[in-house]
């Protein structure tokens, strides 16, 4: 039940964001999903970040900023 509810909420949020932002901008922010997964692993599981992961995060954020421009 927990996964079914989270999937429903995720699709509802995705569809709402497509309505508000449009499909192009919404798909751009889909690339930020791994950053939220890593942040969740850091907070919940106590994971640490490797330098390569930090560099990848910087590249993702940079690419979103460049694409928004």
pLDDT score recorded for residue 15: 93
58 alpha carbon, distance to own chain's centre? 13
Q: Compute the CA torsion angle 52, 58, 63, 69 (nearest 10 deg).
A: -170
pLDDT score recorded for residue 33: 86
Per-residue pLDDT of the chain (69 residues; tens, 9 = 90+): 778 888 898 889 999 999 998 888 888 888 888 888 899 899 999 888 899 999 999 999 999 899 888
């Amino acid at each position: 039940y927990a996964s079914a509810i989270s999937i429903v909420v995720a699709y509802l949020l995705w569809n709402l964001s497509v309505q508000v932002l449009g499909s192009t901008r919404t798909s751009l922010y889909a690339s930020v999903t791994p950053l939220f997964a890593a942040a969740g692993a850091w907070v919940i599981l106590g994971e640490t970040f490797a330098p390569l992961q930090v560099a990848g995060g910087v590249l993702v954020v940079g690419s979103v900023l460049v694409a928004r421009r």
